[in-house]
Chains A and B, each alone.
Chain A
Amino acid sequence: MKKLQIEKGEGISKTKLTRRTFVKGTAVACAGMAMGGPVLRALSTKGTAQAGNLSQGEWVSSFCTGCTAWCTKQIYVVNGRAVKIRGNPNSKSNGINSCPRAHLALQQCYDPDRLKTPMKRTNPRKGRNEDPGFVPISWDEAVGMLADRIIELRRDNEVHKFMVMRGRYTALNALLYDRVPKIIGSPNNISHSSICAEAEKMRYFQEGQWAYMQYDIPKTRYVLLWGADPLVANRGASSYLNSWGHALDNARIASVEPRLSGTGSKCDEWLPVKPGYDGALATAMAHTILTEGMWYKPFVGDFIDEVNRFEPGKTVNEHMFLERHTHGLVKWWNIVLKDATPEWAETICGVPAQQIRRVALGFAAAAPNCISWVGGGPAMQPRGSYGCLAANALSGLVGGCDNEGGVLTYNSRSYKGYPSPGDFQDDIAKQGLKYEKIDQRGRLEWPNLARGGSGAGVNTNNVADAINSEDPYHIKVAVGFFNNFNFSCPGTKRWDQAMSKVDFFAHLTTHASEMSFYADVVLPVKNCMFEQWASLDHCSNGHRSVSLSQPAIKSVWDAKAMETEFSWILAEKLAERGFDNLHRYLKTIVDPETGRTPTTAEEFDLYACKHLMQHFWDPAATKGGDKFSGWEEFKKIGVWNSDPYNYRARWSNMGTATGKFEFYSQTLKDSLENHAQKHGVSVDRVMEACNYEARGELAFVPHHEEPYEWGSTQEYPFKFVDYKARLNREGRSANCPWYMELKDLDPGDLAYDDVAKLNPVDGERLGIKTGDKVRLTSPIGSITCTAALWEGTQPGTVAKAFGQGHWAYGRWAAKVFGKEPRGANNNDIIPTDNDRLSGSTAFYGHIRIKVEKV
Chain B
Amino acid sequence: MPNYAMVIDLQLCTGCGGCIIGCKNENNLPEGVRWSNKITETLGRFPHVRYHYRPTLCNHCENAPCVRGCPTRALYKTKDGITAHDPDKCIGCRYCMVNCPYGAVNYTWNKPHQEWEDNTEIIPGCTYSPRGLVNAVDAKGWPIFNPDPDVNYKAIRPTGVIEKCHFCLHRVEAGDLPYCVEVCPSNARVFGDLDDPNSKVNELLGMFRAEQLRPELGTRPKVFYIREFCPCAYEPGKGMI
Q: Using a CB-CB cutoff of 8 Å, which residues 630-651 of chain A contact chain B?
A: none
Q: Does B174 reach chain A (CB closer than 8 Å)?
A: yes
Q: Using a CB-CB cutoff of 8 Å, which residues 514-564 of chain A contact chain B?
A: 554, 556
**Residue in B closest to A95 when the chains form the complex, CB atoms:** B185
A274 shortest CB reach to chain B, Å: 11
Query: Other than the known A37-B2, A54-B148, A265-B229, what 18 A-B pairs have Cβ atoms closer than 8 Å?
Result: A38-B173, A43-B176, A84-B146, A99-B16, A112-B128, A112-B129, A136-B125, A241-B14, A244-B186, A245-B186, A248-B231, A554-B137, A556-B128, A556-B136, A726-B17, A741-B32, A790-B42, A791-B44
- Given the complex of chains A and B, what is the CA–CA distance between A137 and B125 in angstroms? 10
Type the 1/0 row for A128-156, where 1 means its CB is closer than 8 Å to any CB of B: 00000011100000000000000000000
A97 pairs with B138, CB closer than 8 A = no
* Interface majority SS (helix, strand, loop, mixed), chain B: loop
Q: Does B123 reach chain A (CB closer than 8 Å)?
A: yes
B125 shortest CB reach to chain A, Å: 5
- Given the complex of chains A and B, what is the CA–CA distance between A81 and B121 in angstroms? 22
Most buried by A among B17, B123, B133, B146: B123
Contacts of B127 in A (CB 8 A): 112-116, 512
- The answer to whether residues A231 and B22 also contact, given A110-B143, A248-B231 and a CB cut-off of 8 A, is no
- Given the complex of chains A and B, what is the CA–CA distance between A431 and B22 in angstroms? 55
Contact residue among B53, B139, B143, B175 (Cβ-Cβ distance under 8 Å from A38): B175
- Given the complex of chains A and B, what is the CA–CA distance between A107 and B137 in angstroms? 13
Q: Using a CB-CB cutoff of 8 Å, which residues 704-749 of chain A contact chain B?
A: 726-727, 737-738, 741-742, 744-745, 747-748
B17 pairs with A742, CB closer than 8 A = yes
**Total interface residues in chain B, CB < 8 Å:** 85
A53 pairs with B186, CB closer than 8 A = no
B12 pairs with A97, CB closer than 8 A = no
A268 pairs with B233, CB closer than 8 A = yes
Type the 1/0 row for B136-153, where 1 means its CB is closer than 8 Å to any CB of A: 111100011111100100
Most buried by A among B20, B31, B51, B190: B51
- Interface residues of A, Cβ cutoff 8 Å to B: 1, 17-19, 22-23, 25-26, 29-30, 32-33, 37-41, 43-44, 50-55, 78-79, 81-84, 86-87, 97-100, 103-104, 106-107, 110-117, 119, 134-136, 231-232, 237-238, 241-242, 244-246, 248-249, 252, 260, 262, 264-270, 272, 358, 512, 554, 556, 726-727, 737-738, 741-742, 744-745, 747-748, 759, 761, 790-795, 810-811, 817-818
Contact residue among A43, A245, A268, A742 (Cβ-Cβ distance under 8 Å from B12): A245
**Residue in A closest to B1 when the chains form the complex, CB atoms:** A37
Contact residue among A52, A113, A232 (Cβ-Cβ distance under 8 Å from B173): A52
- Interface residues of B, Cβ cutoff 8 Å to A: 1-2, 9, 11-18, 20-22, 24-26, 31-32, 40, 42, 44-47, 49-53, 80, 115-116, 118, 120-123, 125-130, 132-133, 136-139, 143-148, 151, 170-177, 182-183, 185-188, 190-193, 196, 198-200, 229-233, 235
Contacts of A78 in B (CB 8 A): 146-147
A41 pairs with B44, CB closer than 8 A = no
B21 pairs with A742, CB closer than 8 A = yes
29 CB-based A-B contacts, threshold 8 Å: A26-B192, A40-B192, A44-B176, A50-B176, A54-B170, A54-B176, A55-B147, A55-B148, A81-B145, A99-B18, A100-B20, A100-B185, A103-B183, A110-B137, A110-B144, A112-B122, A112-B127, A112-B133, A113-B122, A113-B128, A238-B185, A245-B12, A265-B52, A265-B229, A268-B232, A738-B24, A791-B46, A792-B42, A811-B120
